[in-house]
């Protein structure tokens, strides 16, 4: 049986790679698909698979005049976000996964999921999806192969990654590829597991059809496995956007910024500067993930391993993010948004009047004024990065871009000021390590609860968090020209719950200060927490229609709030036990003594 399976796989495969063929045959013997289709990434394949997806109800065609090449997908209502409680790091020792990850012993995980995968593709097609994370031929790039029974996954992967025949050619006979296996299964949350085997460069995902659970190149490979490989190989895999900011004088500065899920990466990566910033330009290199390694000139270089954006839809409009609106005007897959009577899409926070009637994200009739949301709060768009009007010309550069500043930002309604600069690398790593953020709809669970989310990597670090923070500290030695580190918070609120800082395009004002600091052009003011903009020669607030009291509240540092914050940091460091890096604990003690407590 197994040998005929292997022969059948080899026969219609566009590769002779013996490791790949043997693995596909083994996975096919377990899952027993009726057909195996090797994806080549061609336009003809896209057309054929889109037609099939429309026919089987996976995709609903949108009004092709209003949104050419766009389709709507509705996921199972029990399957609308990442599932952190069902995501596992499977290392031989529990301590290697650390206290912030769920852990399963590898043999146990293979057995448990093996039972679920057994025969799960009977009557279905197994698609073999070869993909690259990173530009083909870049020293940063990693290859993966995802086996999936979901045509939705294939159509998303071809937007989100460089996918198809060229990747197989690049792989040749090498066995250096990530082995990803995915089945939507019966979409039962009790039979849903996302398991990572870093030692085997393997990912098994069962029982979900949603985003970060199933597009295995993204959070699973590019962050969880990536961070593990990064530690072994001396680089960083981070939940960061990458942007280039060009001044009217033509100087371009590259910045990487970590914000937790649904906390502003995509928006920041493609912001349009306010009208006072004539001649300034922001260009997007990436909106979610950065792979960074020291370059030959001693600087830190970053690439975006992805080729598309899997972005949050609600709140996106021509005022907050015009470039995203242009990006999703064509060739975009929408997941869990509402449908208008004329076949367009709608979501909370879209421009214009709220329509009288809609079909909601679950396919039910919806009327204006309804208490329920028409689009799911974690509804998403999948769009090729080439749709982005401000895509950086460097987004395909195999060498990446040199990073001058790293920004850490959480969603905090209090405590954390608008912007500050770290005193040095260790202090900057401390700022990233002690980041807190209010939870969002991007993962299942309660929304709006502050949790520690070091470097926005809590759900994405593939090994012990203490070792990860130590790796960040250690990177200092291999980067002679270190980026400067900053902390920002766009989300501070007044007593009535109104944002104090206008955010979005006006974040350019903070970014300009950061760029000026990087190039040593503005003086600064020292505080207990770090360096902040001075009253004079500080933030450019020209043309900003915001009460001065709001700005001073957004930038204020309240010692009582910080004493509370430090307690919660202590709980986090205690959780890391003996692996809490000494240098970071000392940073906390120094801050405590500055606060006098
Ligand atoms: P993931 O794709 O989940 O990683 O999210 P992300 O970090 O890319 O977040 P995104 O840019 O999609 O923004 C998430 C939500 O935050 C959206 O509803 C935005 O409208 C909102 N948002 C983004 N930037 C700002 C800002 O500067 N101020 C305020 N108040 N809201 C913002
Ligand atoms: C996130 O949650 O950080 C995302 C969306 O970018 S997902 O791909 O589902 O992880
Ligand atoms: Mn993300």
In angstroms, the CA 400 to CA 286 distance is 11
Tell me if 468 is assigned to some domain. yes
Do 341 and 473 have their domain in common?
Answer: no
Do 204 and 183 have their domain in common?
Answer: yes
Pick the closest to residue 155 from 74, 224, 52 (CA basis). Answer: 52
Tell me if 125 is assigned to some domain. yes
**Percentage with pLDDT > 70 across the chain:** 99
Do 9 and 49 have their domain in common?
Answer: yes
Q: Are 90 and 196 in contact (CB under 8 A)?
A: yes
> Could you tell me the distance, in angstroms and rounded to a whole number, from the CA of residue 266 to the centre of ligand 1?
7
Pick the closest to residue 159 from 269, 272, 71, 61 (CA basis). Answer: 71
Do 276 and 215 have their domain in common?
Answer: no
Q: Are 297 and 319 in contact (CB under 8 A)?
A: no
Do 21 and 108 have their domain in common?
Answer: yes
CA-nearest residue, atom 10 of ligand 2: 212
> Could you tell me the distance, in angstroms and rounded to a whole number, from the CA of residue 93 to the centre of ligand 3?
28
Token digits of residue 335: 């997941």
- The last residue of a domain, from among 319, 351, 379: 379
Ligand 1 pocket, CB under 6 A: 259, 261-267, 287-288, 311-312, 314-315, 320, 442, 490-491, 499, 503-504, 507
Tell me if 597 is assigned to some domain. no
Question: Domain containing 503 — which CATH number?
Answer: 3.90.228.20
What letter would DSSP give residue 99?
Answer: T
One-letter-per-residue 3-state SS of 459-502: CCCCCCHHHHHHHHHHHHHHCCCCCEEEEECCCCECCCCCECCC
Token digits of residue 9: 């796989």
pLDDT at residue number 1: 43
> Could you tell me the distance, in angstroms and rounded to a whole number, from the CA of residue 239 to the centre of ligand 3?
6
What letter would DSSP give residue 353?
Answer: P
Pick the closest to residue 253 from 539, 473, 484 (CA basis). Answer: 484
Q: Are 420 and 519 in contact (CB under 8 A)?
A: no
Do 125 and 22 have their domain in common?
Answer: yes
535, exposed or middle or buried, with CB in 10 Å at 0-12, 13-18, 19+?
Answer: exposed
Tell me if 532 is assigned to some domain. yes
pLDDT, tens digit (0-9, with 9 covering 90-100), for 139-165: 999 999 999 999 999 999 999 999 999
For residue 37, give the 3-state DSSP assignment: strand
CA 112 to chain centre: 28
For residue 378, give the ligand 1 atom closest to its CA: 3
- The last residue of a domain, from among 352, 379, 406: 379
* Ligand 2 contacts CB of residue 82 (under 6 A): yes
Q: Are 49 and 153 in contact (CB under 8 A)?
A: no
In angstroms, the CA 57 to CA 52 distance is 9
- Half-sphere exposure (CA, 13 Å, Cβ side) for 441? 15
Ligand 2 pocket mutation pick from 239, 288, 312, 382 by most atoms within 8 angstroms of CB: 288
User: Residue 218: nearest ligand to its CA?
Assistant: 2
Do 258 and 193 have their domain in common?
Answer: no
Reading the chain (597 residues) residue by residue, the pLDDT tens digits are 455 677 778 778 999 999 999 999 999 999 999 999 999 999 999 999 999 999 999 999 999 999 999 999 999 999 999 999 999 999 999 999 999 999 999 999 999 999 999 999 999 999 999 999 999 999 999 999 999 999 999 999 999 999 999 999 999 999 999 999 999 999 999 999 999 999 999 999 999 999 999 999 999 999 999 999 999 999 999 999 999 999 999 999 999 999 999 999 999 999 999 999 999 999 999 999 999 999 999 999 999 999 999 999 999 999 999 999 999 999 999 999 999 999 999 999 999 999 999 999 999 999 999 999 999 999 999 999 999 999 999 999 999 999 999 999 999 999 999 999 999 999 999 999 999 999 999 999 999 999 999 999 999 999 999 999 999 999 999 999 999 999 999 999 999 999 999 999 999 999 999 999 999 999 999 999 999 999 999 999 999 999 999 999 999 999 999 999 999 999 999 999 999 999 999 999 999 999 986
Catalytic residues: 263
Question: Domain containing 160 — which CATH number?
Answer: 3.40.449.10
Do 486 and 346 have their domain in common?
Answer: no
For residue 84, give the 3-state DSSP assignment: helix
Strand ranges inside 492-558, DSSP E: 525-526, 531-532
CA-nearest residue, atom 7 of ligand 2: 212
For residue 261, give the ligand 2 atom closest to its CA: 3
> Could you tell me the distance, in angstroms and rounded to a whole number, from the CA of residue 26 to the centre of ligand 1?
42
Q: What are phi and psi of 235, to 5 degrees?
A: -140, -175
For residue 547, give the 3-state DSSP assignment: coil
171: left (phi over 0), alpha (psi -120 to 50) or beta: alpha
Pick the closest to residue 204 from 122, 115, 80 (CA basis). Answer: 115
Tell me if 566 is assigned to some domain. no
315, exposed or middle or buried, with CB in 10 Å at 0-12, 13-18, 19+?
Answer: middle
Do 423 and 288 have their domain in common?
Answer: yes
Q: What is the CA radius of gyration of the chain?
A: 24
* Ligand 2 contacts CB of residue 211 (under 6 A): yes
CA-nearest residue, atom 5 of ligand 2: 212
Pairing of strands 345-346, 525-526: unpaired
Return the percent helix, strand and coil in the chain, to nearest 5: 35, 25, 45
* 354: containing domain: 310-379
Secondary element (H or E) of residue 114: helix 106-117
User: Residue 84: nearest ligand to its CA?
Assistant: 2
> Could you tell me the distance, in angstroms and rounded to a whole number, from the CA of residue 350 to the centre of ligand 1?
14
Do 328 and 458 have their domain in common?
Answer: no
In angstroms, the CA 474 to CA 167 distance is 33
- The last residue of a domain, from among 233, 259, 289: 233
Q: Are 362 and 334 in contact (CB under 8 A)?
A: no
For residue 312, give the ligand 1 atom closest to its CA: 12
Terminal Cα-to-Cα distance of the chain (whole angstroms): 70
In angstroms, the CA 406 to CA 488 distance is 11
Q: Are 375 and 72 in contact (CB under 8 A)?
A: no
* Ligand 2 contacts CB of residue 261 (under 6 A): yes
Strand ranges inside 159-280, DSSP E: 162-163, 178-183, 193-197, 202-206, 236-238, 240-246, 252-258
Do 361 and 404 have their domain in common?
Answer: no
Do 374 and 398 have their domain in common?
Answer: no
Ligand 1 pocket mutation pick from 262, 311, 412 by most atoms within 8 angstroms of CB: 262
Question: Domain containing 371 — which CATH number?
Answer: 2.170.8.10
Ligand 1 pocket mutation pick from 239, 315, 443 by most atoms within 8 angstroms of CB: 315
For residue 373, give the 3-state DSSP assignment: coil
Tell me if 524 is assigned to some domain. yes
* Ligand 2 contacts CB of residue 288 (under 6 A): yes
**Residue bearing tokens 């989300």:** 491
Tell me if 317 is assigned to some domain. yes
pLDDT at residue number 3: 58
> Any alpha helices (H) in 205-271, and if so which ranges?
211-214, 226-233, 265-269
173, exposed or middle or buried, with CB in 10 Å at 0-12, 13-18, 19+?
Answer: exposed
Secondary element (H or E) of residue 593: helix 582-595
| Number of domains present in the structure of the chain | 3
Strand ranges inside 82-122, DSSP E: 87-89, 102-103
> Could you tell me the distance, in angstroms and rounded to a whole number, from the CA of residue 258 to the centre of ligand 1?
12
Tell me if 78 is assigned to some domain. no
Q: At what angle do helices 465-474 and 425-433 cross, to 10 degrees?
A: 160
Counting every residue written for the chain, the total comes to 597
> Could you tell me the distance, in angstroms and rounded to a whole number, from the CA of residue 404 to the centre of ligand 1?
23
DSSP assignment of 266-319? HHHHT----TTSTT-EEEEEESS-EEEEE-TTSSEEEE---SEEEEE-TT--TT
In angstroms, the CA 493 to CA 502 distance is 11
């Amino acid at each position: 049986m197994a040998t005929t399976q292997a022969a059948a796989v080899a026969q219609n495969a566009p590769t002779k790679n013996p490791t790949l063929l043997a693995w596909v045959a083994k996975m096919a013997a377990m899952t027993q698909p009726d057909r195996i289709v090797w994806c080549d990434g061609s336009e003809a394949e896209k057309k054929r698979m889109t037609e099939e997806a429309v026919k089987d109800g996976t995709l609903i065609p949108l009004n092709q005049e209003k949104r050419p090449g766009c389709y709507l997908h509705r996921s199972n209502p029990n399957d609308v976000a990442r599932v952190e409680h069902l995501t596992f790091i499977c290392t031989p020792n529990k301590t290697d996964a650390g206290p912030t990850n769920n852990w399963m012993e590898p043999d146990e995980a293979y057995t448990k999921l093996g039972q679920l995968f057994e025969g799960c593709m009977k009557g279905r097609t197994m698609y073999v999806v070869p993909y690259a994370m990173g530009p083909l031929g870049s020293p940063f790039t990693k290859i993966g192969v995802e086996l999936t029974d979901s045509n939705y996954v294939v159509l998303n992967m071809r937007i989100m990654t460089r996918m198809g025949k060229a990747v197989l050619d690049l792989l040749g006979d090498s066995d250096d590829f990530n082995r990803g296996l995915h089945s939507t299964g019966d979409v039962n949350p009790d039979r849903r597991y996302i398991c990572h085997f870093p030692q085997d460069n393997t990912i098994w995902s069962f029982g979900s059809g949603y985003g970060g659970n199933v597009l295995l190149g993204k959070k699973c490979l590019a962050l969880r496995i990536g961070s593990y490989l990064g530690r072994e190989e001396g680089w960083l895999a981070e939940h960061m956007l990458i942007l280039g900011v060009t001044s009217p004088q033509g100087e371009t500065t590259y910045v990487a910024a970590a914000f937790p899920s649904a906390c502003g990466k995509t928006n920041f990566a493609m912001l349009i500067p306010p009208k006072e910033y004539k001649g300034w330009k922001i260009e997007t290199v990436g909106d979610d993930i950065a792979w960074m390694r020291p370059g030959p000139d001693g600087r830190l270089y970053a690439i975006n391993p992805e080729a598309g954006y899997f972005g949050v839809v609600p709140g996106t409009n021509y005022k907050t993010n015009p470039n995203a609106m242009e990006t999703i005007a064509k060739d975009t897959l929408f997941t869990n948004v509402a449908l208008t009577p004329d076949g367009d899409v709608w979501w909370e926070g879209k421009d214009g009047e709220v329509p009288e009637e809609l079909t909601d994200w679950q396919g039910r009739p919806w009327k204006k004024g309804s208490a329920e949301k028409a689009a799911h709060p974690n509804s998403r768009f999948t769009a090729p990065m080439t749709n982005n009007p401000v895509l950086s010309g460097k987004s395909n550069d195999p060498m990446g871009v040199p990073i001058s500043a790293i920004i850490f930002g959480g969603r905090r309604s209090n405590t954390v000021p608008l912007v500050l600069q770290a005193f040095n690398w260790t202090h900057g790593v401390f700022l990233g390590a002690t980041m807190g953020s209010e939870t969002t709809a991007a993962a299942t669970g309660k929304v709006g609860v502050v949790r520690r989310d070091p470097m926005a990597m809590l759900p994405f670090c593939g090994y012990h968090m203490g070792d990860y923070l130590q790796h960040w500290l250690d990177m200092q030695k291999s980067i002679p020209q270190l980026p400067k580190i900053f902390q920002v918070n766009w989300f501070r609120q007044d007593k009535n719950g109104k944002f104090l800082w206008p955010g979005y395009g006006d974040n350019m004002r903070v970014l300009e200060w950061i760029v000026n600091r990087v190039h040593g052009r503005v003086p600064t003011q020292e505080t207990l927490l770090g360096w902040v903009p001075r009253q004079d020669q500080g933030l450019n607030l020209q043309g900003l229609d915001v009460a001065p009291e709001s700005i001073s509240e957004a930038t204020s540092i309240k010692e009582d709030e910080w004493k509370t914050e430090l307690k919660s940091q202590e709980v986090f460091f205690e959780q890391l036990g003996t692996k809490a890096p000494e240098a970071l604990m000392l940073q906390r003690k120094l801050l405590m003594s500055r606060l006098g407590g």
